Amino acid sequence: MVGIVVVSHSRELADGAVALAREMGGAEIKIESAGGLEDSGALGTDAERVRAAIERAMSDEGVLVLMDLGSAVMSAEFAVEMLGEGAERVRLSAGPLVEGAVAAAAAAAGGAPLDEVAAQAAGALQMKAGQLLDAAPADGTGGEHGGAVGQAPDAEAELPVVNEIGLHARPAARLGALARGFDADVTVGRAGEASRVRATSLTGVIGLGARRGDTLSVAARGPQAREAVDALRELAATGFGDGPATDTRPVPAASPARSRDPSSVPAPAPPEPGNVLRGIAASAGVAVGPARHLRRSAVLSPPPEHAADTPPHERERLERAIDEARAGIRRDRDSVAARAGRAEADILDVQVALLDDAALLEPAEQAITGGATAERAWYDAAEAVAGIYRGLDEPLLRERATDVLDVGRRVLEALTGAPPEVAPGGGIVIVSELTPGDAAMLDTGQVTGIAAAHGAATAHAAILARGLGIPAVVGLGDRLVAIAEGVQLLLDGDSGTIVVEPSAAAAREAHERAGRLADWRAAAARRAHEVAATRDGTRIEVFANIGGAADDAHDAVANGAEGVGLLRTEFLYLDRDELPDEDEQAETLRRIAATLKGRPLVVRTLDAGADKPLAALPMPAELNPFLGVRGIRLSLVRRDVLATQLRALLRVAADFPVKAMFPMVATLDEILEARAVLDQARIDTGIDAPLETGIMVEVPAAALSSARLAEHVDFFSLGTNDLTQYTMAAERGDERLAPLLSGFQPAVLRLVRETVQGATAHGRWVGVCGEVAGDPAAAILLVGLGVTELSMAPALIPEVKATLRAVDLADAREAARAALASPTAQQARAIAAGLLPGPGAA
């Protein structure tokens, strides 16, 4: 018979749960209590006591351990580690303590195997939720009006979940933020199911586990109930801001059971010494060093114990610490948005939403009222909520436990005054997926490489690694995370491999290569501020891409940018329900232009839609948003938005060398219509300042008609990220399509050539602002194809300049000709690599 262990901070509670379970399972069940501390019986948990209880309850069928909150989970995990033999037969349950113990006892008494006993314990709250119909779930997130038993809502609706991965963290955060803006209590559940949660509870909403194809039932009570439900209906139509699924494969059957026992997933076997793991090359360079797991994602360190002050004082301390944490997250978010793009920064919005989550705040508040310190109250609440996430079915949602621990840690640091925890020093950081939160805490002086089990080279996290100048390989698979801490690794960011415990000779060779690369980068940095030109003196402008305010412009100049070739203006519109007005936009653009001190600034007009949805500009759901109303198409539907932006731009153009650039142009008509809006803006503002106007070439149609379009624009900038996506019919963020998404694809290079030929026939210049512009080998080919401006992440500028200085234009042209004729992207790349100076030389 399966044994059961009950772990609680309170001896009485554990004993009581055991007595109740015995009542259900009968006297013969093997159930042991491990509550309180050993001698004193004081509140707390003790790993040794838990270990002894597990040994007493052990049988051939195994043992299920139920725990209450916080350190109980850690003590149980510790106890299993101490156990040695038999540890593989122990299962830690995410189920509720009392109901779980009772359900597990009944199942064990009936002779059920460990899997079944664990499943019964994990699902033990379902019966109670069913009985209470609309009542709150156990996480305390139930509604006051809409969720109360027997009260009819003032407004309700059923909303289909149409986005790819269902109601995961970001859409749930948007839903909560929207609901919070109305004077109404809004609750959400899965249609046809009894349990409901408050819409403002991020944890509650995520915990519903709603997937694509499910239907949500939304109910609201209060003065603005109708408005709230209508707004949520609109949000749902946009896939809760994600856009509808682009994957049209049949929806997998939705699973009614949403919780799982996390310990039931078999861990992958660690690789052996000498094994090579192959992934996707994400950031160039080589590194040798010990494996360093970002342990911060696994546990929170318990806060130091001290006597509590009065509850009002502790409450105030907690509120202040939460405010401080919120400000810190926002700072990180801005810096990540600038370096990696908005989509990656969005994940930090989830952390901001967690700080307002009732599932964390209410238990913390209760604990403080009961006499706990702010630290202890917050720590226990964060551990408990992280436990809820760890127990969810969807791998993506389980990973959100990391965000809970991130915010838990930030608030604790603010409370205790401890310095922020940073990534472990000196070595190759191993992560499941590189999140912006991870990247923000990396100490770039210490971390020599980044290895991620998941992700694609074009994903924003990889862009971030390149921006930081750290060699990186992504998409290495789950075996990566099984590598033990401290094991020596050789990471090759050029070939996309990791060697586990490399031979001494291989390690030495890699060290030497890394040294040469560091010397080369240092030399490049010393000349970063010189103008860029090829060896024979052909001037090439090297500009920066930025996506934020004046700080980013400062960063660009510091790295040697000769101007900004792409200002992604989406940042002006994010995180707000109302569009920015003309004054605000003019003011922000003016600050950026002033920071550039006379250098040119290319301002791309709003490029919303597809992967860049905006709450302030709600759009109807689209079946395939990348092919939908995005970029200039959206601006021509909302001409008021474009007109406001162009008026602001003209005001700045009166004093600074700014240029306007329209995104996602496919036809001449679009250019003519956008120019008509610009002409009207000139009349409205009375400003007739010169304003060069160009377009992004990121749709094959624009590249193929460049000669025709060139009559009506001053310049072109190739957006190779989207151009590659549309040419190869491969979604830019999909890691499975990585080989197709290379900017070296000969078909993409041909479109570059086509664009240049069409442009130069009319005396127009062509730049590139897609990711390839920052790849030294690609830069050679692009210059060889006739591109005269390259715009990239600021950190990449010095190396690209150094590369150009070492190459003759004639050789670059010859390489470009050969690359155009080559059958594969790899061969095209190899041709360019043959001209690379420094350590990248072939």
Active site residues: 460, 769
Instruction: Name the one range near ligand PEP by CB under 6 A: 146-154, 176-184, 395-403, 714-722.
Output: 714-722
- 17-26: buried (b, 16+ CB within 10 Å) or exposed (e) per residue? bbebbbeebe
Determine the size of the site formed for Mg ion (CB under 5 A).
Answer: 3
> Cα–Cα distances in Å, from 350 out to 187, 333, 634?
19, 11, 27
- Residue number closest to ligand PEP, CB atom: 719
In the bound complex, what is the minimum distance in angstroms from residue 778's beta carbon to ligand PEP? 12
Nearest to 438 by CA among 365, 369, 340, 313: 340
Residue 582 makes contact with Mg ion by CB under 5 A: no
Give the DSSP letter string of 302-351.
PPPP-----HHHHHHHHHHHHHHHHHHHHHHHHHHHHHH-HHHHHHHHHH
Which range touches ligand PEP (CB under 6 A), out of 122-130, 317-325, 408-416, 713-721? 713-721
Q: Under rule CB under 6 A, how many of the chain's residues touch ligand PEP?
A: 10
Judged by CB, which is closer to Mg ion: 89, or 466? 466
Least CB distance to ligand PEP at residue 660 (A): 16
The CB-nearest residue to Mg ion is 722
Subset of 146-185 contacting ligand PEP (CB under 6 A): none
Beta bridge partners of 220: 155, 186
Does 332 bind Mg ion (CB under 5 A)? Our answer is: no
295 — alpha (psi -120 to 50), left (phi > 0) or beta?
A: alpha
Residue 412 dihedral angles phi and psi, to the nearest 5°: -65, -40
Q: Which is nearer to ligand PEP, 78 or 626 (by Cβ)?
A: 626
Q: Which is nearer to ligand PEP, 333 or 390 (CB)?
A: 333
- In the 8-state DSSP scheme, what is residue 193? -
Q: Computed from CA positions of residues 82, 86, 91, 96, in that sequence, does the dihedral angle turn out positive or negative?
A: negative
720 binds, among ligand PEP, Mg ion, none (CB under 5 to 8 A by kind): ligand PEP
- Of 209, 719, 776, 794, the one binding ligand PEP (CB under 6 A) is 719
Binding of residue 720 to ligand PEP (CB under 6 A): yes
Considering only 165-173, 264-272, 305-313, 716-724, which stretch makes contact with ligand PEP by CB under 6 A?
716-724
**Of 22, 568, 647, 829, the one binding ligand PEP by CB under 6 A:** 568
The smaller minimum CB distance to Mg ion, of residues 541 and 722, is found at 722
Binding range to ligand PEP, per CB under 6 A, among 100-108, 402-410, 622-630, 720-728: 720-728
CB of 592 to Mg ion, least distance (A): 20
Helix axes 550-558, 582-595, angle to 10 degrees: 20
Ranges assigned E (strand) in 575-648: 601-604
126 binds, among Mg ion, ligand PEP, none (CB under 5 to 8 A by kind): none
Pick one of 97, 703, 769, 831: the residue that binds ligand PEP (CB under 6 A). 769
Whole-number Å distance between alpha carbons of 169 and 576: 18
The C-alpha atoms of residue 512 and residue 517 are separated, in whole angstroms, by: 9
Pick from ligand PEP, Mg ion, none: which does 767 bind, CB < 5 to 8 A by kind?
none
Question: Angle at Cα 794 formed by Cα 574 and Cα 492, nearest 5°?
Answer: 110
Residue keyed to tokens 């994602």: 297
d(CA 31, CA 264): 21
- Of 534 and 724, CB closest to Mg ion: 724
Site map (CB under 6 A) of ligand PEP, residues 670-699, x = contact: ----------------------------x-
User: Which residues, other chains included, contact 431 with Cβ-Cβ below 8 Å and sequence gap of 6+?
Assistant: 293, 294, 297, 438, 450, 451, 452, 453
Residue 769 touches which member of Mg ion, ligand PEP, none, C-beta under 5-8 Å by kind: ligand PEP
Q: Output the 3-class SS for 173-192.
A: HHHHHHHHCCCCEEEEEECC
Smallest separation (angstroms) from ligand PEP to the CB of 791: 8
In whole angstroms, the minimum distance from the beta carbon of 122 to ligand PEP comes to 42
For 644-703, the DSSP string reads HHHHHHHHHHTTS-EEEEESS--SHHHHHHHHHHHHHHHHHHT-----EEEEEE-SHHHH
580-639 residues near ligand PEP, rule: CB under 6 A: 607
Alpha-carbon Rg for the chain in angstroms: 29
For Mg ion, the closer of residues 303 and 631 by Cβ is: 631
DSSP 8-state secondary structure symbol assigned to residue 612: B
d(CA 146, CA 724): 48
Does the footprint of ligand PEP cover residue 722 (CB under 6 A)? yes
Residue 456 half-sphere exposure toward CB, CA atoms < 13 A: 15
Taking CB under 5 A as the criterion, which residues in 694-723 touch Mg ion?
Answer: 698, 719, 722
3-class DSSP state of 238: coil
Q: Which does 271 bind (CB under 5 to 8 A by kind): Mg ion, ligand PEP, none?
A: none
Cβ closest to ligand PEP, residue 139 vs residue 722 = 722
CB of 336 to ligand PEP, least distance (A): 15
Which of 707, 705, 782 is CA-nearest to residue 743? 782
Task: Please report, as residue ranges, which positions from 648 to 687 form the binding site for Mg ion (by CB under 5 A).
Answer: none
Tokens of 302: 């318990």
The C-alpha torsion from 164 through 169 and 170 to 176, rounded to 10°, is: 120
**By the rule CB under 6 A, 204 interacts with ligand PEP:** no
Residue found by looking up tokens 């190899």 in the block: 830
Q: Given the complex with ligand PEP, which of 634 and 769 has the nearer CB atom?
A: 769
Is 770 a binding residue for ligand PEP by CB under 6 A? The answer is yes
500 pairs with which residues across the strands? 489
Binding of residue 787 to ligand PEP (CB under 6 A) = no
Q: Residue from 721, 742, 745, 788 that binds ligand PEP (CB under 6 A)? A: 721
How far apart are CB 723 and Mg ion at their closest, in Å? 8
Interface positions with Mg ion (CB under 5 A): 698, 719, 722
Interface positions with ligand PEP (CB under 6 A): 566, 568, 607, 698, 719-722, 769-770
